[in-house]
Chain A
Amino acid sequence: MHSTHLTARALRDAIARRELSASEAVAASLAAIERLEPQVKAFLSLNPEGARRRAAEIDKRLAAGENVGALAGVPIAVKDVLCTADGQTTTCASKILGNWKAPYDAHVVERVLAEGAIVVGKTNLDEFAMGSSTENSAYFTTHNPWDLERVPGGSSGGSAAAVAARMVPIALGSDTGGSIRQPAALCGVVGVKPTYGRVSRYGLVAFASSLDQIGPFARDIPDAALLMRVIAGHDPRDSTSVSARDQPVPDYLAGLEEPLKGLRIGLPKEFFGAGVDPEVQAAVREALRIYERLGATLLEVDLPHSTDYAIATYYIVATSEASSNLARYDGVHYGLRAAGYEDMIDMYMRTRSEGFGDEVKRRIMLGNYALSSGYYDAYYKKALKVRRLIRGDFEQAFARVNCLMGPTTPTPAFKIGEKAADPLAMYLSDIYTVSCNLAGIAGASLPCGLTKAGLPVGLQILTDVFTEDKLLRIARMFERETDWAMRAPALAGGRS
């Protein structure tokens, strides 16, 4: 039985019915990783012994008739920006953290473990989640399972590639400006960026604290809903995580199969402008025709501040917050300390110069510049004002429509190296995803087609704050009508 081709819920059910053991599921996952990892390079670390041990424990508990949880026996991959106390390193794909081992689990890791999931390894990313291709990883670049010469997207490229290559059914990522949705689109899987505050950031190494949010990768929407239900909810250790009283967590699986009646879909005309690849445009238009056939109404809407201005705003807000968050890497508390220093300041400078890669240096410097005396009003304050205009765009749009749709990315996966020397060109691959984070709303990307060259295309759906239940239902309407979610890359045994 090819258990690596099962969804997380089918796998869990098979394990619960004792048709398959958790140990077998983990063995199959590890075998797929062993076979494909030399080509895909999705993982920064693997924990085969720990995973086998945990699977054996889960099998024992199941044999004793225990209810092990909603993810009992399901292998999961975790982006290496999330702390795990399982003895694996937490590197953020940076040399500056080196061999650091976190002394505690992130909230989301605690949650998936409590539901019986098995963490098989930690996935590659752009250093400190800064990038759109994993090429900024200090260790190696992950390859897109659909075409190994192309990037998987980023920053959560390792998690997206691991799910696409059928190494694991589900994975965790983080999204600051598109870092879940963009790689999900480029790898042909589902990715969800929850509303800011929906999922606790405790144990997520901070990049830009007002934008970061953790979310699921899966092969289909019900699995994404399942993982959302496990990770969403209040955690007192993150003061921006919303309380259960203000925003109780709905059961994202309940009602998921019921299509929304009278759905009004907004099409931001800025998301269909120049620069969209014709094949991407065609796949998204075809998806919209399916929604129309299902009874939805399409309306053109304006988001005048939410593309070019959003990228500009994002690169001031995110870098300013990053310059502050990354001040903690000082060679004192964890990770690298450079050798041969003369005094304290020299130790800081050598450590940070040796420990950070170019993109991280660029962003720290850009942020410090935007916050520095004389430039604060012109850059940082200006960006915060435009951020309000961006949120206003969405408020006006959601007064008229239930959701917004468009391509997740302007192009399919690009070639490794193609944009590596031009930071601005790389930033523009997030042009349709960053405004969601600035506005704090919910967003998802789901597969909606393949180009002639066999590269996945992602449909982005955006909904208002704390409406992930609706977002997932809307996405599921389309998914039920097509078989894009079932497609696998040839290297993982799918038809290409």
Chain B
Amino acid sequence: MPLSKKDVLKVGALSRIRLSEAEVEKFSTQLSGILEYVDKLRELDTADVEPLAHALPIHNVLREDVPAEGLTTEQALAGAPEAAGDYFRVPRVLDEGAGA
């Protein structure tokens, strides 16, 4: 299935990736080529096949809820582009005066 430029822009937005005009052009051609290849899977009758998300049996692994040492706040914030006090700093999310 070919991917239109509009599709590419939509999936770019879903991916939080902004694309230039040239990128939209390039990715729509490349992604269409890949999807055309992937369409081979349609040749296979899988009506009675159960999906397999994990190759091996995966089950919940639980442990006792015992407090243990983790990263310190300082360590956790050490790689952050911006921090303020004990917090990650992000751009304003709510408008002035908004909120409850």
Contacts and interface: CB of A to CB of B under 8 A. Distances in A.
Interface of A: 100-101, 103-104, 195-197, 210, 236, 239-240, 242, 305, 308-309, 311-313, 315-316, 323, 327, 330-337, 341, 343-350, 352-353, 356, 361-362, 364-366, 368-369, 372, 379, 381-389, 391, 423-424, 427, 437-441, 465
B63 interface: yes
Given A352-B17, A388-B52, A440-B55, A369 B11 contact: yes
Contacts of B44: 305, 309, 385-386, 389
Interface residues of B, number: 51
Given A101-B78, A379-B38, A382-B46, A344 B90 contact: yes
A352 B15 contact: yes
A336 B50 contact: no
A440 B55 CA distance: 5
Contact of B79 (A333, A366, A388): A333
B94 to A, nearest CB: 10
A366 B34 CA distance: 9
Contact of A309 (B41, B49, B75, B93): B41
A379 B34 CA distance: 12
B95 to A, nearest CB: 10
Interface SS of chain B: helix, strand, loop or mixed? loop
Interface SS of chain A: helix, strand, loop or mixed? helix
B81 A336 contact: yes
B79 to A, nearest CB: 4
Contacts of B91: 341, 343-344, 346-347
Contact of A349 (B8, B18, B23, B79): B18
Contacts of B90: 332, 344, 347
Contacts of A388: 49-52
Contacts of A236: 61, 63
B84 interface: no
Nearest to B88: A332
A231 to B, nearest CB: 18
Contacts of B50: 385, 388
B34 A365 contact: no
A423 B36 CA distance: 13
Contacts of B2: none
Interface in B2-32: 3, 7-8, 11-12, 14-19, 23, 27, 30-31
Nearest to B76: A103
A39 B73 CA distance: 42
Q: Which 6 A-B pairs have the closest CB atoms?
A: A440-B55, A384-B51, A337-B81, A334-B79, A388-B52, A385-B46
Contact of B30 (A104, A242, A362, A364): A362
A384 B18 contact: no
Contacts of A311: 37
B80 A368 contact: no
B96 to A, nearest CB: 13
B64 to A, nearest CB: 11
A383 B11 CA distance: 19
Contacts of B42: 382
B38 A361 contact: no
B65 to A, nearest CB: 13
B16 A349 contact: yes
Nearest to A387: B52
A93 B49 CA distance: 38
A440 to B, nearest CB: 3
A439 B18 CA distance: 35
A430 to B, nearest CB: 13
A308 B17 contact: no
B56 interface: yes
B82 to A, nearest CB: 7
Contacts of B55: 196, 210, 387, 391, 437-441
B12 A337 contact: no
A26 B78 CA distance: 31
B12 A365 contact: yes
Nearest to A394: B55
B75 A369 contact: no
